[in-house]
Structure 1
Amino acid sequence: MTRDEIVSIIGPADNALMAELNATGASAEELREAWMWLNGEEALMNSGRPLPGSNVATLMEILEPDDEEF
């Protein structure tokens, strides 16, 4: 994925996040799907889409905010 593709899908991101996303070997389409699952899972499930594949699930883990409080 290119920097521009990542930014067009998730918005501004720091270099560390971009590197982590690229290290997965996932495509921009997989990143787009992961972002959609994280931001509208119910709509995707209601549309009958299959559950995310392994690359998409990995991307979701990276993108999902931590629930830990500091």
Structure 2
Amino acid sequence: MAIARALAASPRLLVADEPTGRLDADTGRAVMALLRALVESEGVTVLVATHDPVMMSLADRVLRIGDGRLQP
């Protein structure tokens, strides 16, 4: 439901904090597929904060932060 509300305004940037954190594996994959489809078909930029390595593998770019700093 939260994803639908966020998309209702047709944003150019979508920020998601652990969008798959409390989901079972199948639902998590469906959410990841939805976010990826938004990037590819709608040109939406999606910024995701996650610890999920599967989610990271779908990213165009991964930035790691540790101790309050970007890691090299």
- Interval containing the TM-score (normalised by the shorter chain): under 0.3
The structure richer in strand per residue is 2
The structure richer in helix per residue is 1
TM-score, with structure 2 as normaliser: 0.25
TM-score, with structure 1 as normaliser: 0.26
